[in-house]
A and B are shown apart, each in its own frame.
Chain A
Amino acid sequence: MGLDLNKVYNRSTKGSILFVVILLGLPLVFSTNNYLLSTLIMIGFYTIVSTGLTLLMGYAGQISLGQAAFYGIGAYTSAYFTTHFGLSPWLAMMVGAVIAAMVAFIIGIPAFRLREHYLALATLGFGVIVFTFFKEWKEITGGLNGFFGIPPISLFGITIQTDFQFYYLVWIFALIGILFARNIVQSRIGRALLSIHGSEVAANSLGVNITKYKLQMFMISAIYAAVAGSLYAHYVTFINPQLFEMITSIYFLIMVVIGGTGNVWGGLIGAAVYVCLGELLKEIVPLFIPNASGEFEIVFFGILLVIILIYMPNGLSHSISKIVKRVLPAWRRKKRVNACFGK
């Protein structure tokens, strides 16, 4: 590519640090606004899931329409093990992640022999089957009535109950997730994955074990989703199957597509746009259409999705980074010129 990777890494590191500082400072400014905090927390959950899915879709080039199943597996495992066995939420979260990874492994072996439409349908089918079990396996999940009384999570003896505390918890997880994704992408695995995305045949002939990498990414994306689901369960303390329906998988997909799959920040951007737009539409739509129900916003997501895919097939993160790349050097040049003239 003719790029000095070191330079790219350093420059984006500066930006990332600035971003992290803003992120950690936000609740200090808005600490009294619970609505805003809970919105930011939702963005946090979705960022974790969509970062995992970005790895799978953007880097391994594989579609998954069943991600809500892993989100649900994380949530229900946490709920079940903490309430029935008194397991610590942290341990339960780990159990959920392991179960999700195992399920991904089992379903992934046959599924990743399939491609394109067939893979999309297989993951979709998997999602519907898992959802049915959430709904029907009443002894474990409580069925349609849902699962009550999930204990909150605690850290260093502090029970994390307020939105202010939870904000930091979920965003630390989200940042670790992004950092981990970034390391994967910049490692040997990342380059192998990109070669798979480019051409499976070429990658295979160069000795890249395609199936192994795809399967690994599927398991990693499942772990991301399960951890987010587990955190979510401890945040809301009540879950029901509808949260993990097929439509949720599609929402995750929408986030990844909006954000763009070519960039580890895509998941975060997609999640943020999705949640903010959803909240905005909840405010705006009733002004114009008084009898619109909550589900009306999907029409806007549908249109947005089609427009983005037709006109910005690489998603928002690609467009943003293009703008930054164009604006930043110009701005630097101007600063240098000004410095020469002693301004």
Chain B
Amino acid sequence: MDVWSQFVQLLFSGLTVGSIYALVALGFVITYSITGILNLAQGDFAMLGALICISFVNSGFPFILSILLSVVLVMIIGVLFERSAIHPARHSSTATLIIITIGVAFVFRGIAIFVWGTQPYALRPFTGNDSLQIFGAVIQTQNIWAIGISLISLAVLYFFFNKTYMGKAVTACVVNPFAARLMGIQPRKMSFGAIVISAGLGALAGIIIAPISGASYDMGVMIGLKAFIAAVIGGLTNAPAAIVGAFIIGILEAFTEGYFSSGYKDAISFGLLLLVLFFMPNGIFAKASGKRV
């Protein structure tokens, strides 16, 4: 394989992983903007989505139906999570809320071990094992699916937030919860909606990546953390910037793995996180001012 085709290959694998991170990061930004909660269980929605979908497929459900059912089911889990853990503790300190979401992540992982065990599972690719030749690089069709579905979901969300009444109400809560309440929007309902949407996005991300890298009870940890890095790079409340951040992380990881060593992959993403936090704590696209002491 020549230099150019290797580059294209790595770029595609970076874009694929980046699109997965983007979906989870977007859910994270929506949750954080509306509720002020850094939900460390975000990545576990992806894990639950993937494993539930595999179970549906294995028990004979049609493929599309399995995907829809698992996304809906994870959304319901998101509802339960909001009601049982976030809502009762909504007045607690930031640190407490972070730790609660860690606790919830543990519970999700524990349930996953209980139901599916610790072995990894595979989901069949959406459209067989075909591959495409692009600039001499071999690209699996599943990668195209992953990038495509992510981009479509992101476009739908963009439409939702900017063109629909409901979406504008959510956006209003992000911008100014107090003013939103004066206008008759209920931020509490919106926070509920935020977590449900995030759960659905997470589930979708998990299902898309499952045919590529498999699914297991602990897959959510790193997906979730990388999505946070993406969101922080974007400034935590800026959705388009978080998506760009997600693709930066994905591509950076793919190239680190391809040209350097896979062992340092995580260190490089987290090193980028520290650099952004220390030098541009409001994200790389933001102007100065914000949450620094």
Contacts and interface: CB of A to CB of B under 8 A. Distances in A.
A110 B236 CA distance: 19
A2 B90 CA distance: 32
Interface in A93-128: 110-118, 120-122, 124-126, 128
A279 to B, nearest CB: 17
Interface stretch (B145-153, B184-192, B272-280): B272-280
Contact of B292 (A113, A125, A296, A301): A113
Contact of A121 (B84, B85, B273, B292): B273
A202 interface: no
Nearest to B112: A299
A19 interface: no
A289 B114 contact: yes
A306 B263 contact: no
Given A125-B273, A253-B99, A136 B263 contact: yes
Given A117-B98, A128-B267, A309-B89, A200 B278 contact: no
Interface in A281-300: 289, 291-293, 295-296, 298-300
A309 B96 contact: yes
A118 B233 CA distance: 11
A153 interface: no
A49 B238 CA distance: 37
Given A121-B277, A295-B118, A114 B292 contact: yes
A112 B293 CA distance: 8
Interface residues of A, number: 50
Contact of A313 (B38, B96, B229): B96
Given A118-B277, A309-B99, A309-B103, A298 B109 contact: yes
Contacts of B292: 113-115
B106 A117 contact: no
Contacts of B58: none
A296 B104 contact: no
Given A293-B113, A296-B114, A299-B106, A132 B293 contact: no
A116 B292 CA distance: 10
Majority secondary structure of chain A interface residues (helix, strand, loop or mixed): helix
Interface in B66-119: 84-85, 88-89, 92, 94-96, 98-100, 102-107, 109-111, 113-114, 117-118
A313 B89 CA distance: 10
B247 interface: no
Given A289-B114, A296-B113, A115 B100 contact: no
A132 B267 contact: yes
B38 A301 contact: no
A53 to B, nearest CB: 12
Contact of B271 (A116, A129, A299, A305): A129
B277 A291 contact: no
Contacts of A135: 263
Contacts of B32: 117
Majority secondary structure of chain B interface residues (helix, strand, loop or mixed): helix
B12 interface: no
Given A113-B293, A135-B263, A296-B114, A303 B103 contact: yes
B98 A120 contact: yes
B281 A310 contact: no
A126 B293 CA distance: 20
Contacts of A296: 110, 113-114
B59 interface: no
Contacts of B102: 250, 253, 302, 305
Contact of B98 (A63, A291, A304): A63
Contacts of A193: none
B114 A292 contact: yes
Nearest to B91: A313
Nearest to A302: B106
Contacts of B100: 305-306, 309-310
B215 interface: no
B160 interface: no
Given A132-B263, A309-B103, A310-B88, A120 B113 contact: no
A291 B114 CA distance: 9
B270 interface: yes
A301 B92 CA distance: 20
A335 to B, nearest CB: 40
A254 to B, nearest CB: 8
Given A291-B117, A301-B103, A302-B105, A114 B277 contact: yes
Given A293-B118, A301-B106, A305-B100, 11 more contacts: A63-B95, A114-B277, A114-B291, A116-B94, A117-B38, A120-B38, A122-B278, A211-B293, A246-B221, A296-B110, A299-B114
10 contacts: A110-B278, A112-B293, A113-B278, A114-B293, A121-B277, A128-B225, A136-B264, A293-B113, A302-B102, A302-B107
Interface of B: 32, 38, 84-85, 88-89, 92, 94-96, 98-100, 102-107, 109-111, 113-114, 117-118, 221, 225, 228-229, 232, 236, 261, 263-264, 266-267, 270-271, 273-274, 277-278, 281, 291-293
Q: Across chains A and B, which 5 residue pairs bring their CB atoms closest together, nearest first?
A: A299-B110, A302-B106, A305-B103, A132-B267, A125-B270
